[in-house]
Structure 1
Amino acid sequence: MIRNANVNIKNKRATFDYEITDRYVAGLQLYGTEIKSIRDGKAGLVDTYCLFERGELWVRNMHIATYFFGTYNNHEVKRDRKLLLNKKELSKLQRATKETGYTIIPLRLFINEKGLAKLEIGVARGKKNYDKRQSLREK
């Protein structure tokens, strides 16, 4: 029984501020109240970024609102969350971030067909102001 499986939360500033080169889909390690809040659509990806710590990829500053029906066990709103990827994907991402100017940013948070929360991440390079103006002209 999957309810409200059409959750699709986007990072709207990502394509404007960054040039995306590669995209990956990663799983998230979440608490029960976090997945319930995501299914209610109460999450945000503003000012969110990914970083490597001890060989693992973590997402930082991702806002998931507290669950309304949660008890004293409710989760922290902006805690660091571990991303679940294969070793090959992790090594590719780590090599990509070693290059100057490249970073990993979340692009989209969604619920897949099985009811699991997934985060689409991208290897990105920041745009200059004239690049941003050029992309606005193309629209």
Structure 2
Amino acid sequence: SMGSFYNHEAKRDRVLLLNKKELKKLLTKGEEKGFTIIPLALFISERGFAKLKIGLAQGKKTFDKRETLKERDVKVEMDRAMKR
């Protein structure tokens, strides 16, 4: 049943508008190790409706992480050298 302005459940679960196949694929991938479901963008209309764009992200491999850390260290060193 519908509630009025004063007695609605603000934190209730909402319906996810996906096909059954899409939802099943998203849930199985989300439960796999190394995959994460993340929000990409949130759109709120003038009428108060919200639309959330979600994505499936795969974590970095260890060699990618090391490479990223090296690049960050080099950038920090260059910034320090430029300030001198």
TM interval, shorter chain, is 0.3 to 0.5
TM-score w.r.t. the length of structure 2 is 0.47
Higher relative contact order (CA 8 A, sep 6+): 1
TM-score w.r.t. the length of structure 1 is 0.33
Which structure carries more helix by proportion?
2
Name the larger-Rg structure: 2
